[in-house]
Structure 1
Amino acid sequence: MAKKSAAKGGTPATALLDRTGTPYRLHAYGHDPAAASFGLEAAAALGVEPASVFKTLLVATGLPGAEALAVGVVPVDRSLDLKAMAAALGVKKVEMADPAAAERRTGYVVGGISPLGQRNPSRTVLDASAFALDTVYVSGGRRGLDIELAPADLSALTQAVSAPIAST
């Protein structure tokens, strides 16, 4: 996969990929603010299977400080299994994070939160299904922009653990 730079209008996610020399492709599309699901909108706009497009979700762990929030990355056509996420993190339970807290933590807006280049990176769990794919799509750091990259690269850059955290 050839590296494609985000010279104009780059995001922290693309800056990280460029800085580390990680191969990726950018995919921009016209975002509809009325879309019911940002992830399913991206899959349709890009003409790819929803199972290959991953959403970035933040959860509250109940732990103090930097461990208070964690990131789950799951296919857009599935839900985050909170019990499985808690188990992967080694905590008793998690709940979805407050959207404002997620935005403050990551530096991105909801619907455009990338697992890459976050202002304050959090522990990350990548759904195990990603590793059955050659490439995955994740938010590029703003609505209407996705990054395609190898799941191993995504995992390495986010220091993610892999676990089956998606449910139907």
Structure 2
Amino acid sequence: MAGRGTPATALLARRRITHQVHAYEHDPRAESYGLEAAEALGRPAEQVFKTLVADVDGALAVGVVPVTGQLDLKALAAALGGKKAKMAEMSAAERATGYVAGGISPLGQKKRLPVVLDSSAETFATILCSAGRRGLEIELAPGDLVLLLDARVAAIAA
């Protein structure tokens, strides 16, 4: 795995969190990176989560939802005690996280942003999310993700 690490995998190793890294051949023509990951790894799409950066009342925040759904911006704002949310500009999301769109991990971001994990994650023993690069996923227990990120859990998927 030399040279394949990301800030997300480094964080998990440093904190000794049980996880698995799954690599697959990313197709740049794929319409949905998340659905592509689920298919490539032979996992139910509901178990694969995408990381979306939103602007809640002028501050960036992260919503982590199944790749099968969309981020409910109203629910995200409510979960964070905010009034209004909209998707963040791609450049702002990439700058704040240090990752490129399509490969944004909720872990190891450059700037520590508030995170909300969709409550459906709790129905799985493990979930998959981006490891910080297209074609690389991390599998870990949702509870570990919540602990590491001090995340809130709420119904934020639409």
- Aligned positions, number: 158
Residue of structure 1 equivalent to 2:64: 73
Name segments (4+ residues, structure 1) moved above 3 Å: none
The 3-state SS of whatever aligns with 2:106 is coil
Within 5 Å, which residues of 2 pair with 1:12-161?
12-63=7-58, 68-161=59-152
* TM-score, normalisation: structure 1: 0.92
Shift of 1:154: 0.6
Mapped partners of 2:57, 2:83: distance in 1: 9
Mapped partners of 2:46, 2:89: distance in 1: 25
Structure 2: gaps of 5 or more residues: none
Shift of 1:62: 2.4
Q: 2:5 aligns with which of 4, 10, 13?
A: 10
Letter in 1 for 2:83: K
Q: Percent identity?
A: 59
Mapped partners of 1:144, 1:134: distance in 2: 22
Mapped partners of 1:163, 1:139: distance in 2: 20
The 3-state SS of whatever aligns with 1:43 is helix
* TM-score, normalisation: structure 2: 0.98
CA-atom RMSD, angstroms? 0.8
